Protein backbone atom coordinates (compact mmCIF):
# COMPACT_ATOMS: atom_id res chain seq x y z
CA UNK A 1 0.00 0.00 0.00
CA UNK A 2 1.42 3.34 -0.99
CA UNK A 3 1.31 6.40 1.19
CA UNK A 4 0.08 9.87 0.35
CA UNK A 5 3.71 11.06 0.45
CA UNK A 6 4.71 8.48 -2.15
CA UNK A 7 1.85 9.53 -4.42
CA UNK A 8 2.74 13.22 -3.93
CA UNK A 9 6.38 12.54 -4.76
CA UNK A 10 5.49 10.46 -7.83
CA UNK A 11 3.25 13.21 -9.22
CA UNK A 12 5.90 15.84 -8.43
CA UNK A 13 8.66 13.92 -10.23
CA UNK A 14 6.61 12.92 -13.28
CA UNK A 15 4.49 16.05 -13.75
CA UNK A 16 6.39 18.79 -11.88
CA UNK A 17 3.28 19.50 -9.83
CA UNK A 18 2.65 19.47 -6.10
CA UNK A 19 -0.66 17.95 -5.05
CA UNK A 20 -2.42 18.36 -1.71
CA UNK A 21 -3.15 15.32 0.46
CA UNK A 22 -6.81 16.33 0.53
CA UNK A 23 -6.85 16.07 -3.28
CA UNK A 24 -5.58 12.50 -3.01
CA UNK A 25 -8.32 11.71 -0.47
CA UNK A 26 -10.92 13.23 -2.81
CA UNK A 27 -9.69 11.12 -5.74
CA UNK A 28 -9.84 8.01 -3.52
CA UNK A 29 -13.47 8.81 -2.68
CA UNK A 30 -14.31 9.40 -6.34
CA UNK A 31 -12.90 5.95 -7.19
CA UNK A 32 -14.79 4.11 -4.45
CA UNK A 33 -11.92 3.80 -1.98
CA UNK A 34 -12.46 4.92 1.60
CA UNK A 35 -9.75 7.22 2.93
CA UNK A 36 -9.43 7.61 6.66
CA UNK A 37 -10.65 11.02 7.87
CA UNK A 38 -7.80 13.39 8.64
CA UNK A 39 -7.51 14.35 12.31
CA UNK A 40 -7.76 18.03 11.41
CA UNK A 41 -10.79 17.64 9.12
CA UNK A 42 -13.46 20.12 10.11
CA UNK A 43 -16.50 18.31 8.69
CA UNK A 44 -17.00 14.71 7.63
CA UNK A 45 -19.77 15.67 5.20
CA UNK A 46 -18.22 18.70 3.50
CA UNK A 47 -14.99 18.93 1.52
CA UNK A 48 -13.17 22.28 1.59
CA UNK A 49 -10.66 21.58 -1.20
CA UNK A 50 -11.88 19.49 -4.12
CA UNK A 51 -9.32 18.05 -6.49
CA UNK A 52 -9.04 19.95 -9.80
CA UNK A 53 -9.85 17.85 -12.87
CA UNK A 54 -6.37 18.12 -14.38
CA UNK A 55 -4.73 17.01 -11.12
CA UNK A 56 -7.21 14.14 -10.78
CA UNK A 57 -5.86 12.49 -13.93
CA UNK A 58 -2.29 12.76 -12.67
CA UNK A 59 -3.18 11.38 -9.22
CA UNK A 60 -5.16 8.49 -10.72
CA UNK A 61 -2.20 7.66 -12.97
CA UNK A 62 0.08 7.52 -9.93
CA UNK A 63 -2.44 5.44 -7.98
CA UNK A 64 -2.55 2.93 -10.87
CA UNK A 65 1.23 2.76 -10.84
CA UNK A 66 1.14 1.89 -7.11
CA UNK A 67 -1.64 -0.66 -7.61
CA UNK A 68 -4.41 1.23 -5.80
CA UNK A 69 -6.53 1.38 -8.95
CA UNK A 70 -6.85 -1.23 -11.68
CA UNK A 71 -4.91 -0.57 -14.90
CA UNK A 72 -6.93 0.72 -17.84
**25: in domain:** yes
pTM, rounded to two decimals: 0.89
pLDDT in tens, 48-69: 889 999 999 999 999 999 999 9
Cα–Cα nearest to 59, from 24, 22, 9, 31: 24
Q: Is 19 helix (H, G, I), strand (E, B) or coil?
A: coil
**16: in domain:** yes
**72: in domain:** no
pLDDT in tens, 4-14: 999 999 999 99
- Phi and psi, residue 28, nearest 5°: -60, -45
Give the structural domain span for 35. 4-65
Residue 7 CA to residue 3 CA, distance in Å, equals 6
How many domains does the structure of the chain reveal? 1
pLDDT at 1 over 70: no
pLDDT in tens, 15-46: 999 999 999 999 999 999 988 888 888 888 88
Amino acid sequence: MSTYKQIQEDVRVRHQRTVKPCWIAHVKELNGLEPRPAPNRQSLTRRVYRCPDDARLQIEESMRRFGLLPAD
